[in-house]
Structure formats: structure tokens, C-alpha cells
Amino acid sequence: MMGVRGADGGPTRREGQQRTARKERVGRMASGTIRYWAAAKAAAGTAEEPWRAGTLAEALEAARERHADRPEFARVLERCSFLVDGRQVGSGDHAGVVLRDGSTVEVLPPFAGGAR
């Protein structure tokens, strides 16, 4: 609920916990490999590259920045699904997907018949 504050007028306990978790994630950078498949590979101009980030959202944003000279890359990413270490991460908030050192991110565009 908007405007609700803690008893002392400061952040609620939950807000404080969320802020602490974000700070911990930001300070914890991991590195690994991002692999592009099919149309994502063509748009990136490479099959794979290293990433350094704390979350999937950060890794994807860094990839967008690296490939800013390839406008199709950002468009393809919007339609992709993602696997982290072989596990599907869904289409939710990728800022909540914490990456570990050595993780592999797979970028999978819709394949034949997969787009809606």
C-alpha cells in the first residue's frame, strides 16, 4: 500500500529487507558464459560471450549495451526465453534471478511455431 511507513515513519521492515537484499546482490558480481541460439545468435553476431553481473537482468542489460550497434539484437531479446544452468527462468522479473559464478545463460528465441 502506498504511503504506509514503519512505526517510526521510516521504511517498513519488508522495504528494509528488500533494500538489504538488493545491496547484497549489487555487491556480488559473478561471471560466466551467455550462449545465443538461432535468431539470437544471428542478431548478436556471436554464438557465445562472457558476462559479469549479479542478476540475469544485469547480464542482459550489459549484453544490450555491448550490442547497441545491432538494433535487431534488442528486439530479438524481447521475444526470447532464458535458461540459467539448464533451468527455465520464465518471463518474470529477471532482477530476481541471481547468477552464480560459472553459470551459463542460454538465450532461446522462439523456434518454428513457438511465437504467439
Domain boundaries, the chain: 30-108
Q: Give tens-digit pLDDT for 25-42.
A: 455 789 999 999 999 999
Answer whether 34's CB lies under 8 Å from 105's CB.
yes
Q: How far apart are CA 115 and CA 79, in angstroms?
A: 8
Q: What is the pTM of this model?
A: 0.72
pLDDT above 70 covers a percentage of the chain that reads: 72
| Superfamily holding 30-108 | Beta-grasp domain (3.10.20.30)
Q: Average pLDDT, whole number, for the chain?
A: 84
**pLDDT (tens digit per residue) in 100-110:** 999 999 999 98
Nearest partner of 50 among 66, 26, 69, judged by Cα: 66
CA–CA gap between residue 53 and residue 57 (Å, rounded): 9
Tell me the torsion sign for CA atoms 49, 57, 96, 112.
negative
* pLDDT (tens digit per residue) in 54-111: 999 999 999 999 999 999 999 999 999 999 999 999 878 999 999 999 999 999 998 7
Which residue shows C-alpha cell 560466466?
32
